Amino acid sequence: MAEIRRYPIGIQTFQDIIEGKYIYVDKTKYIVDFREQGLKFVFLSRPRRFGKSLFASMLHAYYEGKKDLFDGLAVGEYEKDWVKHPVLHFDMSGAKHFDAERLTSYLNWQLQPYEEAYGCADDDNSTNVRLANLVKRAYKQTGQKVVIIIDEYDAPLLDVVHEEENLHKLRLIMQNFYSPLKMLDPYLELVFITGITKFSQLSIFSELNNLYNISMYDRYSAICGISKTELTTQMRHDVELFAESMGIGYDEMLTRLKDYYDGYHFSRHSEDIFNPFSLIMSMASHELGNYWFGSGTPSYIINVMKKFHTGISDIEKKGAGVTDFDVSPEQMTSPLPLLYQSGYLTIKKYNPITQRYVLDYPNHEVRIGMLQALAPNYLAPRQMDNSSFLGDFLDHLCEHDMNAALERMRVYLASISNRLSNKSERDVQTVFYLIFSLMGAYVRVEEDSAVGRADVVIHMPDTIYVLELKYDGSAKAALQQIDDKGYLIPYSANGKRLVKVGINYDSAKRTLGEWIVSESKYYVQSMTNEDFMMRAIALSIDNVRNGGGPFGAVITRHGKVVATGVNRVTANNDPTAHAEVTAIRNAARELGTFDLSDCEIYTSCEPCPMCLGAIYWARLKKVYFANDKHDAKAIGFDDSFIYDELALPRDERKLPSEVMLRDEAQEAFRLWSEKKDKVEY
């Protein structure tokens, strides 16, 4: 019988998780960090449902001295003297959609149980005075400094962040409530505040200038969420059980979980963080689904995007400066920082020179969820209608009937044309972008335009459709562009049917005009040296856009592509993962041999010494390259020093080396020399 694993679905109380023997990823090492650094006023920003409340609950239990709950955890091994502090824990998550009167009542309700415990004065009528006196009484009665935990501090304000008048009223109430915190310093052990937005954006803690914001520091990048390290160690067994239920291997399961729920970066050099809510829900159900995004409609996000007239294509791979995260709502000119802090975008790259971040969707779940939330603004107003169209379109493709699929699209576009703002080419491009992006929830779709890639590429189980779209042009011209630009080349080695589709959009009719569907066999049968090199170059360009180095390689055999490779050194943390080495590994695996003497390699740049050595060892019969080593040096890839080093005597090289235990090592060489059935290489 398989082991039953208890997942804490909907449970945000640390004590309940521990006592209920639910799975818990140990985050108590951060308490040790806080203690050793002597942190006192701490702020943490993270998206909703990312574990902020659980971390706050864990702090609550620790400072109340509940030692037994921490047995076997990092802080349990660290702490020797357990001290019980009075803890005032204010959860603001219930104060959403409130006006000024209801917000004040909510704050009174939050104060009441602590006043019942520590007393109150009859003349304590304002919330700030009551909070100040409450802290002083708790300190006096217990003899211990007070811990204040404020969870989801910005919850009352997020829904009105786009409404200047209401935002101002509610902000004044919150400012007043928190105003005593700085002057209470002598009575406080720790103040820990969580929220979605940075405190400076909502200007609530303007007087608390000693608040330490840990939100974007590398050492705290995994304080909430589940890191890949934690997943592959503390939760490895859970991944194995999931993989078994799916009928796939462990590595494949990791890849799927990464595609769906990974990709969050909360600092410049953050490790990848998985969404904990989606990951736990997925583990419990053994289903890959849209859990986090589906758990709440980001209405305030949609409203802010409307306020700044932000289009769908304005979100992906966009830049934001460091100072943008500190801008108040009244001064905001873009929703990007708010999208980041809310978890809909994440850091993909940081430029230390310009101090700018590149923001993008973190993963498949968020991208598809965001597009589905925005789709009614451009497509049919009901999600059901959009899903029905996409389902019909893909059903026709599964039946190898592209003409029927496009006819269904013609009817659908005609039904939504009146929703387009000005019937411009940009509107049409947005509609097509949305349609094919949403298809990505079901099949692999490429929408980015790049060298060697058409407007849209749809990957079906046995067929690849390459689509080129024209606006008031001709289907013939679109089809010709597919041929002229070599858009089929990247897919010629897949062993699938290749179907090219030229489409014209008729602006007068506001739907599809003519189209031409043509199955192609040319590239499968005959490709030139230039075709292969263009493929390597296209790989290098795409790889840069996908977070890798600017290098691509293609290995061919008898005029057909055998394998490809791109540089994934930084992406995979593998210093040997150069494009040529990766391509050689893939080719050897594909052909089932280490001897590639009947193969040729096309690489976007002259091979480095390591790759050249690998090429020699693989016995490839010819190398073709585009950029040379001087071009590589000009952008920071200089490997000439390796050749210089190899020319020097061993004792003059910069890398120290020492000969040791040579006699012992000779035994392996002796055994190899005497081996009768060895395979020479």
61-96: per-residue pLDDT in tens?
Answer: 999 999 999 999 999 999 988 999 999 999 998 888
User: What separation, in Å, do the N-terminal and C-terminal C-alpha atoms of the chain show?
Assistant: 48
pLDDT beyond 60 at 448: no
CA angle, 568 then 569 then 574, to 5°: 115
Residue 428 pLDDT level (bands cut at 50, 70, 90):
confident
pLDDT for the residue numbered 357: 81
Question: Which segments within 119-259 are labelled E, that is strand?
Answer: 146-151, 188-195, 212-213, 226-227
Considering only CA atoms, which of 60, 76, 81 is closest in space to residue 12? 60
pLDDT beyond 50 at 523: no
What is the percentage of the chain residues whose pLDDT exceeds 70? Answer: 90
471-485: per-residue pLDDT in tens?
Answer: 889 999 999 888 887
pLDDT beyond 50 at 451: no
pLDDT for the residue numbered 257: 93
pLDDT for the residue numbered 22: 93
Backbone angles phi, psi at 265, to 5 degrees: -130, 125
pLDDT for the residue numbered 135: 94
Task: List residues bridging with 356 in a β-sheet.
Answer: 321, 351
Q: Supply the DSSP symbol for 590.
A: H
pLDDT beyond 60 at 319: yes
Active site residue 447: no
Task: List residues bridging with 450 in a β-sheet.
Answer: 453
242-271: per-residue pLDDT in tens?
Answer: 998 888 888 889 989 998 898 888 888 888
Question: Can you say whether residue 263 is alpha, beta or left, with left for phi > 0 and alpha for psi between -120 and 50 degrees?
Answer: left
Query: 312 near 434, Cβ under 8 Å?
Result: yes
Residue 450 pLDDT level (bands cut at 50, 70, 90):
very low
Q: What gap in Å lies between CA 611 and CA 196, rounded to an integer?
A: 46
Q: What gap in Å lies between CA 110 and CA 174, rounded to an integer?
A: 13
Any idea which of 122-131, 393-402, 562-571, 604-613 has the lowest mean pLDDT?
122-131
Q: Exposed e or buried b for every residue in 391-427, given b needs 16+ CB within 10 A?
A: ebbbebbeeeebeebbebbbebbeebbeebeeeeeeb
pLDDT beyond 80 at 158: no
Q: Which of 152, 230, 580, 600 is catalytic?
A: 580
Q: What gap in Å lies between CA 279 and CA 262, rounded to an integer?
A: 9
Q: CA-CA distances (angstroms) from residue 444 to 436, 437, 459?
A: 10, 9, 5
pLDDT beyond 50 at 201: no
**Helix (H/G/I), strand (E/B), else coil: 516:** strand
Q: What gap in Å lies between CA 21 and CA 1, rounded to an integer?
A: 19
Query: 348 near 274, Cβ under 8 Å?
Result: no
Query: 390 near 439, Cβ under 8 Å?
Result: yes
Higher pLDDT, 2 or 303: 303
Average pLDDT (489-496) is 69
Q: What gap in Å lies between CA 681 and CA 676, rounded to an integer?
A: 14
Considering only CA atoms, which of 143, 161, 238 is closest in space to residue 204? 161
Any idea which of 58-62, 206-210, 642-646 has the lowest mean pLDDT?
206-210
Q: What gap in Å lies between CA 403 and CA 465, rounded to an integer?
A: 12
Residue 353 pLDDT level (bands cut at 50, 70, 90):
confident
pLDDT for the residue numbered 494: 61
Query: 589 near 617, Cβ under 8 Å?
Result: no
